[in-house]
Amino acid sequence: MTRRVTVKDLRQRNRASVLRQIVLAGVTTRAKIAADCQLSAATITNVVSDLIREGLVQENGLLPSDGGRPVARIRATDGGAHVIGADVGEQGVTVELFDLSLRRIDRVFRKLSTRAVSPERVAEALGGAVADLRAAHPERVASLIGVGLGLPGIVDIGPDGTTTVFAQSLGWEPTRVNDVFSLGDIPTYADNGAKTLATAEMWFGAAQGVQHGIVALLGRGLGIGVIAGGRILRGLSSSAGEWGHTKVSFGGPACQCGARGCLEAYVGGGAIVRRWRETGAKVRGGDEQGLSQLVAAADGGDVAAGRVLDETVEILGLGLANLVNLFNPESIVVGGWAGLRLFQARGEDVARNVRKQSLHRPGEQFRLDPCKLGDDAVALGAALLPLEQLIEGTLPSPRAQP
C-alpha cells in the first residue's frame, strides 16, 4: 500500500530541493531557485525564510533589476554547518574540514604503514586526524554535523541501517563501521571511495549534469562509480563498480584480492610501478613517485619505461572499452592519483585505445575527461554524506540542536 503524502512530507521535500540547489549554485536568487526547483515564488519565499531562520542560508548583497527593486542574492551560510570528509587509502588517511558552502578549511594527513593496514590501525589514524581538526578549530565544533568516510572495498548498508565494509583486497574480515570507526559524539557515514569521488564530480566537477557516465578512480586500486539515470548505480549490496577485479587474462599476475588476471593487477598504480621494477628499473620513493619517474623515463627515451607505459595505456584502454560496451556512457571521468598522472601524460592515447577497442557506436558517443576536483575529490564526496543527511532533514541543523 502506498503511503499517503502529507503536507509535512511536501514541506520537507521542498526544503531539501531548495537547500540542495543553493549549495550547488553557490550564489543564486529566489527567482532562479524557483525556476530550478520548479516551485512557486510563494513557496520559495517561505522555504528560504525558514532556512535563513535556521542559520543555513543568508542574503548576500543585491543585484540590480530591470527597473524594479534590487534582487537579493542567496547563498549558503559558510558557518551554518561544518562537515568532515575522509579519504581512507592504503597509504594513509586524508581528513578535511569543510564549511556549508563546501569550502575546504583545513586538511590533516596521517600516514599508514603498508605492513599493518588493519581496520583498527586505520581507525586510530582517523580518530587522531579528526581530533587534530577539532582542536585546531574549536569555534567550529558546535556546528560540526557529521563525518563521511570514503573507504576501500564494498561498503554495504543493510536493511537495518548497519554499514559493513568488505575489504577483501586488504585482508579484512567484514567490518562494521560503527563498531570500528565510530567517532563518539559525531555521526559517521561511509561509502566506497570511488562512489564518493563520483558523487563529488556529479555535484561540482566534470560529471555535473551527466545522466549516463563512468567516474573511474585509479589509485593503488581501481574502482568506478557508474552513473545511471543521474544516480549512482549500487547493485544488490552496493558492490556495483568493483571494476578493478574484472578479469583481463587467464592466470596472469596475482591481485590483492587473491585472484589472478584482475585489471587492477596490471594498471593499479602499484602494479604499474611493480611491472617497471621487474624490468630492472631502480625506483625511488613510493608508488606515486615511482609512477612519475616512469613517465619521465619514458618521455626521456628509456625503452623499458616506454614499453611499460605503452602496455599500461593499452590495457587501461581495454578496461575502459569494456565499460563503454557495457554501459554506453556519455562521459568517462578519470581521477585518483594514478589516473590523473596517466591522463596528463597519455590522455589522448588512452582515449584512442578506448575507441579502438569499443564497439563503433558507443565508442563514438563518449567523451573522456580528467577529474575536475583533483586529489580532494574523494574526501569532498565523503563530506557530502553527512551534508546529504542535513539537506534531507535526517540531521537537524546546528542551530536547531539543543
Q: Are strands 71-76 and 57-63 parallel, antiparallel or unpaired?
A: antiparallel
Express each pLDDT in 222-274 by its tens digit.
999 999 999 999 999 999 999 999 999 998 999 999 999 999 999 999 999 99
Cell of 198: 563520483
What confidence score (pLDDT) does residue 270 get? 94
The dihedral over CA atoms of 339, 345, 347, 349, expressed in degrees to the nearest 10, equals: -120
Asked if residue 132 has pLDDT above 70, the reply is yes
* Ramachandran category for residue 316: left, alpha or beta (phi over 0 → left; psi -120 to 50 → alpha): alpha
What is the maximum alpha-carbon separation in the chain?
Answer: 74
Tell me if the pTM is above 0.85: yes
CA 64/CA 72 separation, integer angstroms: 9
Tell me the β-bridge partners of 189: 148
- N-terminal to C-terminal alpha carbon distance within the chain: 37
Express each pLDDT in 178-232 by its tens digit.
999 988 888 999 999 999 999 999 999 999 999 999 999 999 999 999 999 999 9
The H or E element spanning position 377 is helix 377-392
Express each pLDDT in 299-330 by its tens digit.
999 999 999 999 999 999 999 999 999 999 99
Strands (E), 77-170: 82-88, 92-99, 104-111, 144-151, 154-157, 163-166
Cell of 308: 611499460
